[in-house]
């Protein structure tokens, strides 16, 4: 009976509290219970709300810890240098508290959630592209101070599926993904990989900086696939087989397909 009263108290508290309340208020008398795949309930719903507010891809707020929530948690853990398990443990939970608190203090919540809502609307996405500034060819254009913000945005969409011609968080292809990420920061890139390859200055892989672009020759000769270099030999891209993900340049497949790197950071 006592266990039921404690459990009921926990459910009611989680259901009543909003996202900020959920992350800023913890009943320390209760032992923390990990949330993982197949978990259900108001705690999962609040985690979903917070991840979505922070810009991660959560298609449906249903209180069910399914694949999309699992991928979003892994993306959050990767971005915050937490062991990537897909499980909301105490460390991940505490990091969510800090991230949400900082986000609200920096005034980013309203901008990001409004932007995420616009992204799924075709006309508004066209408006966002229209308001972005065309970037110049053959010269760097991404301010070095803005690189962490661009990379943070790029990582928010880890797990979004691939679709040829896709250019919104519902589904991306490789060049549509790059165009979308940079448009969120006011920069309008060309729509296709071969045209994006004209941007920046060619550099060897050893001289790539985080934020630069990398290109591969996959389904046709020339630059037919692209991604954003993250540093330490890693890049993020919309993979045709697994959607938005992080891979290594020296993986056998990508090493063989590597076409070139373009330095866009200034």
- In the predicted structure, residue 173 carries a pLDDT above the cut 90: yes
Q: Work out the average pLDDT over 202-217.
A: 97
Predicted model pTM:
0.58
Residues annotated catalytic, as ranges: 174, 225, 237
Q: Is 78 exposed, middle or buried (0-12, 13-18, 19+ CB in 10 A)?
A: middle
* Chain centroid, CA 189 distance in Å: 19
Q: What confidence category does residue 24 fall into, taking pLDDT thresholds of 50, 70 and 90? A: very low
* Chain centroid, CA 87 distance in Å: 17
Q: What confidence category does residue 36 fall into, taking pLDDT thresholds of 50, 70 and 90? A: very high
Nearest in space to 97 (alpha carbons), one of 24, 43, 31: 24
Q: Work out the average pLDDT over 96-123.
A: 52
- Residue 29: the pLDDT is 35
User: Alpha-carbon distance 217 to 193, whole Å?
Assistant: 10
Q: Work out the average pLDDT over 107-113.
A: 41
- In the predicted structure, residue 16 carries a pLDDT above the cut 70: no
């Amino acid at each position: 009976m006592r266990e039921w009263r404690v459990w009921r108290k926990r459910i009611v508290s989680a259901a009543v509290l909003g996202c900020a309340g959920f992350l800023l208020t913890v009943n320390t008398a209760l032992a923390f219970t990990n949330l993982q795949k197949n978990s259900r309930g108001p705690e999962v719903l609040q985690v979903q709300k917070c991840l979505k507010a922070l810009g991660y891809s959560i298609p449906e707020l249903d209180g069910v810890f399914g694949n999309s929530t699992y991928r979003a948690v892994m993306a959050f853990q990767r971005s915050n240098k937490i062991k990537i398990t897909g499980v909301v443990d105490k460390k991940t939970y505490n990091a969510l508290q800090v991230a949400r608190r900082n986000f609200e203090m920096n005034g980013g919540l309203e901008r990001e959630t409004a932007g995420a809502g616009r992204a799924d609307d075709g006309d508004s996405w066209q408006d966002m592209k229209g308001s972005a500034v065309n970037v110049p060819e053959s010269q760097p254009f991404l301010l070095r101070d803005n690189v962490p913000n661009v990379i943070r945005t790029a990582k928010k969409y880890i797990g979004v599926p691939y679709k040829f011609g896709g250019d919104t968080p519902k589904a991306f292809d490789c060049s549509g993904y790059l165009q979308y990420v940079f448009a969120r920061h006011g920069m309008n890139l060309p729509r296709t990989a071969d045209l994006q390859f004209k941007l920046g200055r060619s550099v060897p892989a050893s001289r790539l900086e985080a934020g630069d672009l990398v290109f591969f020759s996959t389904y046709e000769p020339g630059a037919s696939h692209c991604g954003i270099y993250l540093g330490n030999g890693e890049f993020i891209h919309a993979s045709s087989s697994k959607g938005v993900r992080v891979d290594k340049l020296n993986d056998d497949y990508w090493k063989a397909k590597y076409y070139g790197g373009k330095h866009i950071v200034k």
